[in-house]
Amino acid sequence: MLDSGEGYITPDGRQIGGVMMEMKNITLRFGGVVAIKDISFDIREGEIRAIIGPNGAGKSSMLNVINGFYHPQEGEVWFRGEKRPAMRPYEVAELGIARTFQNIALFKGMSTLDNIMTGRMTLMRANILEQALWWGRAQREETEHREKVEKIIDFLEIQHIRKTPVGRLPYGLQKRVELGRALAAEPKLLLLDEPMAGMNVEEKEDMCRFVLDVNDEFGTTIALIEHDMGVVMDIADRVVVMDYGKKIGDGTPDEVRNNPEVIDAYLGVSHD
Amino acid sequence: MATQKEATGALDTIPRLLARNAAAYGQRPAYREKEFGIWQCWSWAEAEEEIRALALGFLVLGVDEGDYIAVIGRNRPALYWSMVAAQMVGAIPVPLYQDAVAEEMAYVLEHCGARFVVCGDQEQVDKVIEVQDRVHCIEHVMYQDKRGMRKYDHTHLNWLHDIQVEGRAAQTRLAHELEARLAKQAYDDTCVMLYTSGTTGKPKGVVLSNRNIIETSRASSEFDDLSEKDSVLAYLPMAWVGDFIFSIGQAYWTGFCVNCPESPETMMTDLREIGPTYFFAPPRIFETMLTSVMIRMEDAGALKKRMFDHFMEHARRVGPAILDGKPVSGTDRLKYRLGDLLVYGPLKNTLGLTNIRVGYTAGEAIGPEIFDFYRSLGINLKQLYGQTEASVFITQQPDGEVRADTVGVPSPGVEVKIDDTGEVYYRSPGTFVEYYKNAESTAKTKDPEGWVATGDAGFFEEGTGHLRIIDRAKDVGKMADGSLFAPKYVENKLKFYPNILEAVVFGADREMCTAFINIDLTAVGNWAERNNIAYASYQELAGHPKVLEMIQSHVEETNKSVAEDPMLSGCQVHRFLVLHKELDADDGELTRTRKVRRNIIAEKFNDLVEALYDGSDSVYTETEVTYEDGRKGKIKATLKISDAAVVPVKPQKVAAE
């Protein structure tokens, strides 16, 4: 299925493009602890790519490497055909990579609208003086950004909490607002760190639909970490399986499901 | 303009009214919808253009005269336009309840043989696709919201916007055909078909003609002086006859603006932003609004709270009188004015009711305190009584004659009569044509002279001529001494107390009435907390002596109010007990819409009913219950039976207290 560099067609008929991001032999150490050991995989344009694995497998560390928060000791990160130098997270954000967090990281006292507006930070051009005086570019820009933000609010069906401080919202909605903020940056690649964690079945179904719709409507490439195997197998196009910092499987959900090593990791065979 | 309105001759279909509005009120707003955080607006001229494009698009798609076009979705301008566009091409719109399960939807689509279905969004489209293998009449499905629809097979699926684009492109080719179809339409052609929700048996398609809708809209608009300057918020189901009359019938007749909320959840915010002048809500909505006000006042600062309590007390005393234009002393007026400045005004503003000129509630009984609360604020809230078969209006309350316990006088043009059994009949220009493909039911409901049975029992109050509805006709019976027994009338009065969740009154063919009471766990639990009453379970709380005392006072209050009515004074509750379990639909005691199933309860709790009548003061009982996971269990309890004071019935012995 992955024989050419030109992408493939998913079972539901979506065209997946060429390689967008490639991780080459990444190794990440914290002192003596090896969090990620010699892992390589790629993420393709328009794809929903999942990273799964038991607790402590190194999934979040992997996301933090992509995100530029951690710098691997060995290996290279290639983005759109170029080797990416060590970058700070905000520089990575400017490249068009946005993310959500496992533990919600919103501004609790600010409204939904304002939180999502902060997602557009990297796209604002007006300088601090213009912003402070709300003059010139700042004024023009605000209207423009607000319009984009309203489209996202409409998309995520959170009109009713537009003006509500996010701290007062239930968990499932906060997660949705966080997704909204990430979308506001108009990312090319969206990283989701356990978007369904702690949700009930209905909230999970909603979130799944939003993830699929984001991919479908905006053509955004998505890389997500998830514990819930059912969810992953349903929505991901390809899955990387990690265990103890190593990659033990990579392929379509079906391939991964039948991979003996993966079964071992999930059914709990002892490691020696 | 006035002359135009009277000339019903030329304005005998909705499309003709649309043309009149586009000409007379071209620049005035016809539709508003909040989208992307902003109110988008269409003037009558713009709306006409949109609807016309849609109608031409329907022609391109092959809609024939007499076709049925189903419309499913929440209130949005484009769906209203679809209905009018359907009428323009000679088709009949059939709005459906969007929350209907696939099963019901399949039945209705099959029954009317809808060739075309217009959906709001993906959710509705999915439902239609799901039933399509059973319902073969559907040829094309259209949808408004494009989201999530990209991957669907579009051979028989169309984006509504594309239909309009195609319609505009076909303007020169098809305009002639459209004009020809418009010219053919007559006053007695079908305007719309609405399915009754069907609490008993299958839904029935109520066929309403242009005459029904337009006569009713004209009469009711004149009754309340509605004009093109009014505005409404369209948020009630489009399949409900009320929404059709308010948002299409009256809106097109008078040319007022229909506002559609951003989403069902934002309804309250949107209400505040729009501040409609004409508003309809079932009692449930008014109740929720009042509760939220009360809860927020509990949390308010001491000064605000005292101000609120003080001025609300004053408003309750003089507010309704001022609203009705009755004489009120100068100082009271002045104080009311001050209260308006400090409390009533800001409160109405928060609720979005500042501009209300006319408000209606209907559908079920509204609690008098709730009703009086809104009226005391100066909101002209009235009651009406109606049904789908009557194009809504049967009776309504004229300004200045508004009360919580009546449903008003017959609406203009409506004749109402009561038969020997007490059942209410009506005849009016709005009376439906027939039930679609159901001559048998039509004949059963409507007699050859046009009188329609409502299925409700009621009577006209002497002196005022107001109609009072007491119960469903089949539930009304006689007591042993021959006096009228109307259980629901008493139950409603009991249920107006927040502490009482449900009540079941017995008394048919008996000497006296008795009742089962269900406490409301939230309200009573709250009360218990404030009064330091500890309890471990529902059953324990329900059996607490203090609770029984409180319920007893409610029952006695109710008796006093029942006794005021000479016809129904026999229905006072002599003995009652508080049930040890909540009545539940899972146990078959309530319907899914939470209506009491009287006979089943009487049978199931036979021992309790007997105890109520044999004079014992407590009774031991075991009841089978079904848990949420389907397992069954037994609850054992000893229930205390209390006697309630009753007001002597005979009018000659008026209690001199």
**Alpha-carbon distances of B8 from A174, B4, B190, rounded to whole Å:** 55, 8, 17
A127 Cβ partners below 8 Å, 6+ apart? A137
Record the tokens describing residue B390, joined without a space.
Answer: 């009557």
Are B484 and B507 a contacting pair, CB within 8 Å?
A: no
d(CA A11, nearest CA chain B) in Å: 12
Give the per-residue pLDDT at B652. Answer: 36
Percent of chain B with pLDDT over 70: 95
For the range B155-161, what are the long-range contacts, defined as Cβ-Cβ under 8 Å and sequence gap of 24 or more? Answer: B157/B125, B158/B61, B160/B54, B160/B78, B160/B82, B160/B118
Contact A159 B147 (CB under 8 A): no
Are B84 and B42 a contacting pair, CB within 8 Å?
A: no
d(CA B240, nearest CA chain A) in Å: 25
Across B614-621, average pLDDT: 88
Select B14-210's CATH number: 3.40.50.12780, 3.40.50.300, 3.30.450.40, 3.40.50.150.
3.40.50.12780
Record the tokens describing residue B64, joined without a space.
Answer: 């024939």
**To which H or E segment does residue B61 belong?**
helix B44-61
Contacts of B266 in chain A (CB under 8 A): 159-160
Give the per-residue pLDDT at A271. Answer: 53
Give the per-residue pLDDT at A22. Answer: 92
- Residue A26 in this model has a pLDDT that exceeds 50: yes
Contacts of B35 in chain A (CB under 8 A): 154
Contacts of A170 in chain B (CB under 8 A): none
Contact A160 B263 (CB under 8 A): yes
pTM for the predicted model, two decimal places: 0.82
Give the per-residue pLDDT at B198. Answer: 57
- Residue B651 in this model has a pLDDT that exceeds 60: no
Are B422 and B481 a contacting pair, CB within 8 Å?
A: no
The phi-psi region of residue A214 (left if phi > 0; otherwise alpha if psi is between -120 and 50; otherwise beta) is: alpha
Are B30 and B18 a contacting pair, CB within 8 Å?
A: no
d(CA A32, nearest CA chain B) in Å: 48
Most confident of B295-309, B578-592, B623-637: B295-309
Give the per-residue pLDDT at A268. Answer: 62
Q: How far is CA B280 from the centre of its chain?
A: 8
Q: Provide the 10 A C-beta neighbour count for residue B268.
A: 18
Are A242 and A265 a contacting pair, CB within 8 Å?
A: no
In which band, very low, low, confident or very high, does the pLDDT at B593 lie, cut at 50, 70 and 90? low
Coil/strand/helix, residue A110: coil
- Residue A270 in this model has a pLDDT that exceeds 60: no
From the list B194, B133, B142, B139, the residue with the least C-alpha distance to B163 is B142
Give the per-residue pLDDT at B654. Answer: 37
Distance between CA atoms of A80 and A238, rounded to whole angstroms?
A: 19
Give the per-residue pLDDT at B200. Answer: 58
- Residue B219 in this model has a pLDDT that exceeds 60: yes
Give the model confidence (pLDDT) of B68-98 as tens digits.
999 999 999 999 999 999 999 999 999 998 8
| Phi/psi of residue B294, nearest 5 degrees | -65, -40
Record the tokens describing residue B96, joined without a space.
Answer: 């459906």
Give the per-residue pLDDT at B334. Answer: 93
**Alpha-carbon distances of B352 from B157, B174, B208, B279, rounded to whole Å:** 39, 45, 33, 10
- What part of B 215-274 touches A (C-beta under 8 Å)? 262-263, 265-266, 269
Q: How far is CA B178 from the centre of its chain?
A: 36
For chain A, which residues make up each domain, given as ranges? 1-96+187-272, 108-180
Give the per-residue pLDDT at B470. Answer: 84
From the list B136, B158, B191, the residue with the least C-alpha distance to B61 is B158
Give the per-residue pLDDT at B636. Answer: 86
- Residue B575 in this model has a pLDDT that exceeds 60: yes
Contacts of A154 in chain B (CB under 8 A): 35-36
In which band, very low, low, confident or very high, does the pLDDT at B653 lie, cut at 50, 70 and 90? very low
Contact B37 A146 (CB under 8 A): yes
Distance between CA atoms of B149 and B495, rounded to whole angstroms?
A: 46
- Residue A4 in this model has a pLDDT that exceeds 50: no
Give the per-residue pLDDT at B646. Answer: 87
Q: What is the DSSP string of A7-57?
A: -EE-TTSPEE-SEEEEEEEEEEEETTEEEEEEEEEEEETT-EEEEE-STTS
Burial of residue B522 (CB within 10 Å: 0-12, 13-18, 19+) is exposed
Coil/strand/helix, residue B223: helix
Mean pLDDT across chain B: 89
Give the model confidence (pLDDT) of A50-62 as tens digits.
998 888 888 889 9
From the list A236, A242, A266, the residue with the least C-alpha distance to A49 is A236
In which band, very low, low, confident or very high, does the pLDDT at B126 lie, cut at 50, 70 and 90? very high
In which band, very low, low, confident or very high, does the pLDDT at B476 lie, cut at 50, 70 and 90? confident
Question: B148 to chain A: nearest residue by CA?
Answer: A213
Q: How far is CA B328 from the centre of its chain?
A: 33
From the list B440, B443, B579, the residue with the least C-alpha distance to B519 is B579
Mean pLDDT across chain A: 87
Coil/strand/helix, residue B211: helix
Percent of chain A with pLDDT over 70: 96
Contact A146 B148 (CB under 8 A): no
Give the per-residue pLDDT at B4. Answer: 41
Give the per-residue pLDDT at A2. Answer: 46
Give the per-residue pLDDT at B2. Answer: 40
Coil/strand/helix, residue B280: strand
- What part of B 33-92 touches A (C-beta under 8 Å)? 35-38
Give the per-residue pLDDT at A257. Answer: 85
- Residue B47 in this model has a pLDDT that exceeds 50: yes
Distance between CA atoms of A14 and A26, rounded to whole angstroms?
A: 29
User: Helix, strand, coil proportions of chain B in percent (round to 5)?
Assistant: 40, 20, 35
The CATH class of the B400-474 domain is mainly beta
**Who wins on pLDDT, B107 or A2?**
B107
CB of B622 within 8 Å of a chain A CB? The answer is: no
In which band, very low, low, confident or very high, does the pLDDT at B628 lie, cut at 50, 70 and 90? low
CB of B148 within 8 Å of a chain A CB? The answer is: yes
Give the per-residue pLDDT at B235. Answer: 93
- Residue B140 in this model has a pLDDT that exceeds 90: yes
Give the model confidence (pLDDT) of B340-388 as tens digits.
999 999 999 999 999 999 999 987 778 788 898 999 999 999 999 999 9
In which band, very low, low, confident or very high, does the pLDDT at B107 lie, cut at 50, 70 and 90? very high
In which band, very low, low, confident or very high, does the pLDDT at A258 lie, cut at 50, 70 and 90? confident
**To which H or E segment does residue B602 belong?**
helix B598-604
Specify the amino acid at residue B299: D
Are B621 and B543 a contacting pair, CB within 8 Å?
A: no
Across B185-193, average pLDDT: 95
The mean-pLDDT minimum among B157-166, B169-178, B382-391, B629-638 falls in B629-638
E-assigned strand segments in A91-164? 97-100
CB of B592 within 8 Å of a chain A CB? The answer is: no
Domain A1-96+187-272 fold is: Rossmann fold (3.40.50)
Select B476-643's CATH number: 1.20.120.400, 1.10.10.10, 3.30.300.30, 2.40.420.20.
3.30.300.30
**Who wins on pLDDT, B293 or B167?**
B167
Distance between CA atoms of B281 and B292, rounded to whole angstroms?
A: 16
Contact B36 A150 (CB under 8 A): yes
Distance between CA atoms of B523 and B521, rounded to whole angstroms?
A: 6
Q: Tokens 């006042």 sit at which residue?
A: B297
Distance between CA atoms of B379 and B371, rounded to whole angstroms?
A: 10
Give the model confidence (pLDDT) of A161-182 as tens digits.
999 999 999 888 999 999 999 9
Between strands B205-209 and B157-159, the pairing is unpaired
Helix runs in B92-209, H state only: 102-112, 122-131, 160-169, 171-184
- Residue B7 in this model has a pLDDT that exceeds 50: no
| Phi/psi of residue A173, nearest 5 degrees | -70, -35
A166 Cβ partners below 8 Å, 6+ apart? A106, A107, A108, A110, A111, A112, A115, A174, A177
Strand order in the sheet with A238-243: A97-100, A189-193, A221-225, A48-52, A238-243, A246-251
Question: A152 to chain B: nearest residue by CA?
Answer: B36
Q: Which residues pair with A50 in a beta bridge?
A: A224, A239
Record the tokens describing residue B213, joined without a space.
Answer: 């809708």
Distance between CA atoms of B442 and B554, rounded to whole angstroms?
A: 43
- Residue A83 in this model has a pLDDT that exceeds 70: yes
For residue B467, the number of C-alpha atoms closer than 13 Å in the C-beta half-sphere is: 29
For chain B, which residues make up each domain, given as ranges? 14-210, 281-379, 400-474, 476-643
Distance between CA atoms of B33 and B47, rounded to whole angstroms?
A: 12
